[in-house]
Structure formats: C-alpha cells, structure tokens
Amino acid sequence: FMAELNSAVKIDGKPVAAALVFASDDGGLTWRRMTPEPLCIRDGQGSGNCEEPCLVEHAPGRLLMVMRTLRGRLYQCRSEDSGRTWSRPARSSVANPRAPARLERIPGTGTILMVHNPHVSGKGWHKGARVVLAARTSRDGGRTWSDPRQIEQTGADTWYDYPSIYWTGDVLHLAYRSVPRDGKGPKRVDVRYQRLNKAWLLGGKRERLHSVQRRSVADVQLEEPRRFTGDPSGCCNRPAGGVRG
C-alpha cells in the first residue's frame, strides 16, 4: 500500500490538501487507486487539510492511516477490508503539530508504533515547534495511545522532524531530519540516525539506544527521482527506469 498527498482538490471552490491510497500486487510495478474520493476533513468546522499521510496494516486486512492537519491533532482513517473502502478522516486523540508522523507495526505483536512530534502550541504556520521527537504505542488498532516517550529533544533553534523507520529483527532503525531554525545564513540539514530496542519501545526499562549518528545531507548519496506514469482512471503503469524506492 502507498498513501500520497493530493493538493489539487477543491471543496466549495477552496483548495484543500487530501490523501489518496494506492495498492500494488506485483512489488510496485503497477498500482491501482483504492480511494475513489480524496480523503480530507469535512465536518462541522468546515473543510480542512489532510497532509502527508502514513498508513500501516496492523492486523490482516485492517489498516490505519494518520495525517497531519492544522487543528493540533492527527486525523485518521480506517479500512477493515484490505484497503477496499475507507472511513472518513476523524480526529484522533494524538496531539500533533503540522508535522508528519510515521507508523509501523512492532514485529511479533499487534502493537502499532508511532514516531512523531508531540509538542503543540497552536501558534505559527506549524502549530508547534518540532523540538521533541517521541514514540507512542497502541495495542487496540490506534483507538488509544500510550503517553509519548521522548526519543530526543533539541533546543528552540533546531528542529527534529520527518522520521523514517524500519525494523530488522528486534531493532528499529530511525532516521530523521535535523535543521536549524535560527534564520541566520544558509540552512545546514543533517540526517540523524538511531537504533532503538523493541523492549524499550514497548515500555521496558532496559537501555533504549544502540547508537546515535549524525550525517550532513551533503554526505548522503541521493538517487535521481524517477517519475511514475499513470492514466486518469487511477491505474498507474510501470514507472520509467524501475520502481522508485
């Protein structure tokens, strides 16, 4: 499954960022659209953005998707039929600024792991400085969440955000952006990397870190992006040059 942002949606003539879901049965060579209508907030407060979606299959055929918003909370959608149909975006219990969260299922369990920025102030375009990176877990499919457990905190002049997570065995590999916010001179973007124990993420008291590393983005080799091609019906064809990672 893949969730992506669609910023070309209009509701009552107003541009709104919405989420779309695609699925592939052949390792990403072809994709089909699973959401006939873009997913965005439509409630008593009016329409609202659902940005930078992330989804996880936490049980066979059961998926949870979360999206950042301008309302100081993550919004979420659910599918109980392997992504064929989705609920409308609804307000979750997780306080979150205008910053993306990441989800993964903890191996060998039905527990969902979330890594996100928990600090919300309601001020500025971002609705909260991204100075804390934290982990939460849910044992009931994302209906309730543990209190945030701090992974790392920085000062007001630096942000930690855009986490990426991947499991190998009982070790979570976490990479995230570190960017200065002092407004002085050119920005130097670093990529920070940590390895976290499964037991610590589940609430244990054992040492949580294997290592902490930092690399400048100038030292990281980036592949040239390759464009997916698709048709208006929502069925994506084989991308030129192979599958983008």
What stretches of the chain adopt beta strand conformation (E)?
2-11, 14-23, 31-33, 41-43, 46-48, 51-59, 62-68, 73-79, 90-95, 102-105, 112-116, 132-138, 149-153, 158-168, 171-180, 190-197, 209-216, 235-236
> pLDDT digit string (tens) for 71-124?
999 999 999 999 999 999 999 999 999 999 999 999 999 999 999 999 998 888
Q: Specify the pLDDT at position 43.
A: 72
Give residue 131's pLDDT.
Answer: 93
Q: What is the pLDDT of residue 145?
A: 96
> What is the per-residue pLDDT for 151?
93
Name the pTM for this structure.
0.81
Residue 5's pLDDT is 63
Residues of the chain with pLDDT under 70: 1, 3-8, 12, 44-47, 182-187, 206-245
Looking at residue 181, what is its pLDDT? 79
What is the pLDDT, as a whole number, of residue 240? 32
